[in-house]
Chains A and B, each alone.
Chain A
Amino acid sequence: ETVLTQSPGTLSLSSGERATLSCRTSQSISTNYLAWYQQKPGQAPRLLIYGASTRATGIPDRFSGSGSGTDFTLTISRLEPEDFAVYYCQQYGNSPMFTFGPGTKVDVK
């Protein structure tokens, strides 16, 4: 089973700052199997990035994904007020079929 670790657990930043979120997998995975989601309180998750680096439809270009192997990164170049949320990485594997990381909360400093 591939375990996902996200860091930091909480990131306290101000609007306009750059956010760098890490997702590490316990085993190397193909980049096409890594996705990122954003979730705001009381809402369903929203797909941000698939294939480790491709933005989903309608996602602003301030969001970018990178990485390979076991280290993946979600970067928000300049935080907007609506970006304060929890971010999850997700991987596709054998068993279980999908695994989510524990999440990184980006909150207001």
Chain B
Amino acid sequence: EVQLVESGGGLVQPGGSLRLACAASGFSFSSYELNWVRQAPGKGLEWVSYISASGKSIYYADSVKGRFTISRDNAKNSVYLEMNSLRAEDTAVYYCARDRNYYDASGTYYPSFDYWGQGTLVTVSS
């Protein structure tokens, strides 16, 4: 059974730092791309960051670029999100989500997130 379990959330003051972790099991972790997606209280979904299977390709939303760092440890089946210079607007539930990594017979890529963790709440407040 595929499982993604986030941890590391909590209350932090503005300007502070936090490191989220997502532990994966039930699939070949090193073969899949992972993402972080967040959801502010009562709001919609916002994609935050992507990391390729090897960790060599990384992308960020403009709202977190320069402040957040995504990384992964394929030996530990885990992906991380280091969050610095946190702001009140970073308050959200942070989800780890797996990309399906699906390509059809012609090699066309179909991006979508087929498994999600339960989320971890980050609250930035003084």
Contacts and interface: CB of A to CB of B under 8 A. Distances in A.
B27 interface: no
B45 A45 contact: yes
B62 interface: yes
Contacts of A33: 110-111
Interface string A69-109: 00000000000000000001010100111111111000000
Given A44-B95, A44-B119, A32 B44 contact: no
A11 interface: no
A98 B108 contact: no
Interface string B93-121: 00101001010000011111110111100
A33 B100 CA distance: 12
B80 interface: no
A49 B102 CA distance: 13
B78 interface: no
Interface residues of A, number: 26
Contacts, number: 67
Contacts of B46: 100
A103 B119 CA distance: 19
B61 interface: yes
A96 B112 contact: no
Contacts of B110: 32-33, 50-51, 54
A101 B46 CA distance: 9
Interface of A: 32-33, 35, 37, 39, 44-47, 50-51, 54, 56-57, 88, 90, 92, 95-103
Closest 5 CB pairs of A and B: A44-B116, A50-B112, A98-B47, A35-B112, A92-B111
Given A32-B111, A90-B112, 18 more contacts: A32-B108, A32-B109, A33-B110, A44-B116, A44-B117, A45-B37, A45-B45, A47-B114, A50-B100, A51-B110, A95-B62, A96-B59, A96-B61, A97-B47, A97-B50, A98-B47, A99-B47, A100-B47
